[in-house]
Amino acid sequence: MKVASVAVFVAMQTLIKAAGDVPAGEIVFFRSFFAIPPILLFMARRGELRSALATSRPFNHIARGLVGVTSMALGFFALTRLPLPEAITLNYAQPLLVVVFSALFLHETIRLYRWTAVAVGLAGVLIISWPDLTLLASPGGLDDQELLGVIAVLIAAAVSAVAMILVRSLVHTERTATIVLWFSLTATAASFLSLPFGWQWLTPAQSALLIGSGLCGGVAQILMTQAYRYAEASVVAPFEYTSMILGVIVGFFIFSEVPRMSTVVGGAIVVAAGIFIIWRERQLGLPRGAARKLVPPQG
């Protein structure tokens, strides 16, 4: 189920990228609104529909939603400007930043091994993005679309890590389905705030692609949630990195994108660091499962 959820998320990203240069806020609307029907069907099947939105912490949900939708918009902006493998791989910085922010904001004890893994992982991120960052030294470099994409996806990863910290607070009192539904509704409503910045009329093909991306997002969230019901987070989580393989395959065959050597080398370093952090937390018996059961906000 985890591998299937990753595959469907990659399909979602592929559909968004195939839709072309669509405003990020407009993409957020389609991704969020059309994810709701599959989630509602799943909740109805489990008999949870009546109490789907029941919560004593609505403002916490809204705060998490606004932070999450910011990350989503930045991630979609980057997706329209970067090769698919690079956009996927750079987003792997998120779990590394969760470790940093957990220490800063939740005062969790982070030991030397995990700090080392975070440092190594961030070095991998620098290797991936270095060819684009060197454009900063050239005249007009700041206008380069790939450079803007790199900056956007890294900010998205940082904002997403903040959203995960908010999720860790919610998980103590809220059900996963409730958190997911509140997020989808908040993201849909927040997407309309981008209307003054310019939405565009879509072709029928673009509309179909974006509706499909929303449906894929909802299905992928359900598969991910179910995956963690059948195995421990430390067993399931490393399979997230199969998205790098799928991203390379899809990027090559659909978009004719060949990954750069810096993406391959840096991606391998980031993946190794992420898997080490998961393994280390398993060894220490840290309660990561509750937070891991939740859907990443950029999904």
The whole-angstrom separation of Cα 197 and Cα 299 is: 23
For residues 109-119, b (16+ Cβ closer than 10 Å) or e, as one string? Answer: eeeeebeebbe
Q: Considering just the CA atoms, what is the radius of gyration of the chain in Å?
A: 18
In tens, the pLDDT along 88-114 reads 888 888 778 877 887 887 677 777 888
Which pLDDT belongs to residue 213? Answer: 96
DSSP 8-state symbol, 296: P
Closest CA to 18 of 164, 213, 166: 213
Which pLDDT belongs to residue 133? Answer: 61
The gap from C-alpha 234 to its chain's centroid, in whole angstroms, comes to 18
Measured N-to-C along each axis, helices 93-105 and 261-284 cross at an angle, to the nearest 10 degrees, of 40
Question: Do 92 and 296 meet the contact criterion of CB atoms below 8 Å apart?
Answer: no
The whole-angstrom separation of Cα 150 and Cα 107 is: 30
Neighbours of 14 (CB within 10 A): 22
Q: Which amino acid is at 33?
A: F
The whole-angstrom separation of Cα 295 and Cα 39 is: 12
**Mean pLDDT of successive 10-residue stretches along the chain, which has 299 residues:** 91 95 94 93 85 88 91 91 87 81 76 84 84 56 70 89 80 80 92 90 96 94 77 70 87 88 88 82 57 40
H/E segment holding residue 231:
none
Which pLDDT belongs to residue 234? Answer: 60
HSE toward the beta carbon, residue 274, CA cutoff 13 A: 26
H/E segment holding residue 282:
helix 261-284
Which pLDDT belongs to residue 142? Answer: 43
pTM of the model: 0.80
In tens, the pLDDT along 131-175 reads 766 555 455 544 477 888 888 988 998 898 888 778 777 877 887
Question: Do 288 and 234 meet the contact criterion of CB atoms below 8 Å apart?
Answer: yes
Which pLDDT belongs to residue 97? Answer: 83
The gap from C-alpha 297 to its chain's centroid, in whole angstroms, comes to 6
Neighbours of 107 (CB within 10 A): 8
Question: Do 36 and 184 meet the contact criterion of CB atoms below 8 Å apart?
Answer: yes
Neighbours of 262 (CB within 10 A): 17
The whole-angstrom separation of Cα 109 and Cα 225 is: 27
Which pLDDT belongs to residue 10? Answer: 94
Q: Which amino acid is at 194?
A: S
Domain boundaries, the chain: 2-292
Residues with Cβ within 8 Å of residue 182, at least 6 apart in sequence: 53, 55, 58, 61, 62, 64, 65
Stated length of the chain:
299
Query: Residues 87, 89, 90, 96: what is their CA dihedral angle, to the nearest 10 degrees?
Result: 150
